[in-house]
Chains A and B, each alone.
Chain A
Amino acid sequence: MFPATFEYYAPTSLEEALNLLRQNPEAKVLAGGHSLIPAMKLRLATPPALVDLRRIPGLSGIRLEGDQLVIGAMTTYYDVQTSELVRQHVPVLAEATDVVGDLQVRNWGTVGGSLAHSDPAGDYPAIILALGAEVRARGPQGERTIPIDQFFVGMFTTALQPGEILTEVRIPVMGPGTGAAYVKFPHPASRYAVVGVCAVVGREDNICRQARIAVTGATLYATRATAAEQALQGQTLNADTIRAAAERAPEGLTITGDRVFASEEYRTHLVRVLTRRALMAAVEKIR
Chain B
Amino acid sequence: MARVSIRINGVLHEADVEPRLLLVHFIRDVAGLTGTNIGCDTSQCGACTVIMNGRAAKSCTFLAVQCDGAEILTIEGLAKDGQLHPIQQAFWEKHGLQCGYCTPGMIMTAYHFLQMNPNPTEEEIRHALEGNICRCTGYHNIVKAIQYAAELMRGGAPAPTPAD
Contacts and interface: CB of A to CB of B under 8 A. Distances in A.
Interface residues of B, number: 33
B76 to A, nearest CB: 19
B41 A30 contact: no
Contact of A104 (B22, B41, B42, B56): B56
Given A38-B43, A104-B56, A33 B130 contact: no
A98 B61 CA distance: 20
A108 B91 CA distance: 27
A10 B132 CA distance: 30
Contacts of A98: 127
B2 A1 contact: no
Interface centre among B21, B55, B132 (most CB of A within 10 A): B55
B87 interface: no
B66 A33 contact: yes
Contacts of A42: 42
Given A37-B62, A38-B61, A4 B113 contact: no
Interface in B53-68: 55-58, 60-63, 65-66, 68
Given A10-B65, A37-B63, A78-B55, A105 B131 contact: yes
B66 A2 contact: no
B69 to A, nearest CB: 10
B126 to A, nearest CB: 11
B86 interface: no
Interface in A4-27: 4-8, 10
Interface string A70-111: 000000001000000000000000000010011111011000
Nearest to A10: B65
A104 B131 contact: yes
Interface in B70-121: 109, 112-113
B31 interface: no
* Interface range, A side: 20 to 34
A5 B61 contact: no
B49 to A, nearest CB: 6
B20 A103 contact: no
B61 A33 contact: yes
B57 A108 contact: yes
Contacts of B65: 8, 10, 52
Contacts of B61: 33-34, 37-38, 104, 108
A82 to B, nearest CB: 9
A103 B66 contact: no
A257 interface: no
B47 to A, nearest CB: 11
Contact of B42 (A5, A6, A30, A41): A41
B44 A190 contact: yes
A105 B58 CA distance: 8
Given A54-B66, A103-B56, A4 B20 contact: yes
Interface of B: 2, 18-22, 41-44, 46, 49, 55-58, 60-63, 65-66, 68, 109, 112-113, 127-133
Interface of A: 1-8, 10, 30, 33-34, 37-38, 40-42, 50, 52, 54, 78, 98, 101-105, 107-108, 189-191
6 residue pairs, one from A and one from B, having the closest CB atoms: A102-B131, A8-B19, A107-B55, A102-B130, A38-B43, A3-B20
